[in-house]
Structure 1
Amino acid sequence: MKRASARSTSAASTAPTTQRQKLAAATRQRIFKIAIAEFSDKGLSGARVETIASRSKVNIRMIYHYFGGKEALYLEVLEFVLGRLREAELKLKLDVDQIEPVTAIVQLYDFIEGHFATHPELSKLLSFENLNRARVMKRSSAIPEMSSPVLSLLRTVIARGENDGSLRKDMDPLHLYVALVSLCSFHKSNAFTLSRIFNTDMLATQWQEDHKAQAHEMVRAFVVAGAPQAPGSNAGRGSPELGSAAP
């Protein structure tokens, strides 16, 4: 009886703790979800902790309790949205033993393009951070590390394509990745202004599909073996580290 009583007492004491932990996790997640929307709409300077707290239905002190403050919450949001892109890219995995290299690169483009289309907050947050010269992002040690697996993946595909003769020589993975992201994101992040300038709805489904088909042609034309290389091209020489002198 004593043992049964002890077990009952133990279960009773841990149950409230577990319930409190679940409630705390749910509260934190609710705050974080609202914060993503607020920061992507207004940036770090425009967003207000009071608004995030009000929309999350919590006391403002809870935000400081869970995240340490507005800037710390903003940085966590940045790391999350960029980490979600990296995870999505790596799930693609580009089976280098099964997919032809040119197709693998086009498939990576499609995956990134789809991610930007379904997560517009990514482009918005990056735009705000660029306006502020990555002031907050510089505090993150996690964000630079996120890029390594993706570049390694591309490096493997490029090496295999060079070996089998399907890809042009001396492509730099970072230059190629930046080009892919540019083709994926520019027409989305600037759609409202471009639509106004050219009097064309660039967010229309058909326009987006046509642009995607054109991007496919551009990617294939650039990476395929025999594609012309610009004079003085820096491809294959690598990229200087941030803050280092260019060679």
Structure 2
Amino acid sequence: MSLEEGKAPPEEEAPPRRDPLRTRTRLLEAAIEEFSAQGFHGARTERIVRQAGTNIRMLYHYFGSKDELYVAVLEVVLGELRHDELRIDPETAEPLPGLLHVFDYVDGHFGSHPALRKLLAFENLNEARHLVRSERILTLSSPVLSLIGRLLARGEAQGQVRAGLDPLHLYVAMVSLAYYGRAHAFTLSHIFGQDLHAGGWQRSHLAMTREMVASFLRPATGGAEPALSAPRARRSPR
């Protein structure tokens, strides 16, 4: 006998149960890391599946192609940003503090999600060729401008916010203030000989940019507000 007398044979281990949601999530997490580090063209699907602990067949089963996986990655990282931005009730929040909270969320999110900054940089280099394929991203973005617009309208009516502001212009300005100093921190640090990644520098920069937004949003005092019409376009030299 191959087994000692009286000992029960060892139980066979049950095959691991499939968990489609977990596998898909692992693939997305690995893809975010790979695409943000290498860009679309430099990313390799074999590295993604290896990092996710699965195989190439599963990647194509859940996403269809490398292109569709990349679009899904953009939807995830931008969806997380929108989730942070929409944590304010535009009907109950005080308009000026509410708008400043939107800026706080934008700044905090860009600060804590370097992969988002890198993916946006790569996608801009590629002229948003993948982003335009996503209807979901458009759906996610509309509520943000609606939120800002309602806060601006209430703020203007209550005299808390200057009149005539456009939600998209304001949002782009907020993102610019939150994004540029981080997205270009490596080059700026070298050019000016100061570490822009340092926590102290980032905190002082946030204090300054937040006051810039607050000062711009407040109504002018002691006279009429300056016009907010766009400057005239300059003629191109002939």
Whether the TM-score (by the shorter chain) exceeds 0.5 is yes
Hey, what does 1:184 align to over in structure 2? 178
The reply on whether 1:49 has 2:42 as its aligned counterpart is: no
Hey, what does 1:218 align to over in structure 2? 212
Alignment of 1:11-26 (within 5 A): 19-20=17-18, 23-26=19-22
2-structure distance, mates of 1:85, 1:159: 23
Letter in 1 for 2:98: A
Hey, what does 1:40 align to over in structure 2? 36
Q: CA deviation at 1:117?
A: 1.1
Q: Secondary structure of the equivalent of 1:124?
A: helix
Hey, what does 2:84 align to over in structure 1? 88
Higher Rg: 2
Q: CA deviation at 1:50?
A: 1.1
Q: CA deviation at 1:87?
A: 1.2
Letter in 2 for 1:150: V
Letter in 1 for 2:40: L
Hey, what does 1:233 align to over in structure 2? 230
Q: Secondary structure of the equivalent of 1:125?
A: helix
CA shift in 2, pair 1:54/1:231, >3 Å: closer
Gapped regions of structure 1 (runs ≥ 5): 1-15, 235-247
1:58 to 40, 54, 60: 54
Hey, what does 1:243 align to over in structure 2? none
Q: Secondary structure of the equivalent of 2:104?
A: helix
Gapped regions of structure 2 (runs ≥ 5): 1-13, 232-238
1-structure distance, mates of 2:228, 2:50: 57
Deviations 1:152-171 (A, max 9, x none): 11111101111111111110
Deviations 1:42-68 (A, max 9, x none): 111010011112222222122111110
More helix by share: 1
The reply on whether 1:169 has 2:163 as its aligned counterpart is: yes
The reply on whether 1:152 has 2:146 as its aligned counterpart is: yes
1-structure distance, mates of 2:103, 2:54: 40
Name the % identity: 47
Q: CA deviation at 1:96?
A: 3.7
Q: Secondary structure of the equivalent of 2:117?
A: helix
RMSD value, Cα: 1.9
Hey, what does 2:234 align to over in structure 1? none
2-structure distance, mates of 1:47, 1:101: 43
Task: Give yes or no for contact 2:188–2:196 (8 Å, CA) kept in 1.
Answer: yes
Q: CA deviation at 1:95?
A: 4.9
Query: Normalising to structure 1: TM-score of the pair?
Result: 0.82
Runs of 4+ residues deviating >2 angstroms: 94-97, 227-234
Q: Secondary structure of the equivalent of 1:158?
A: helix
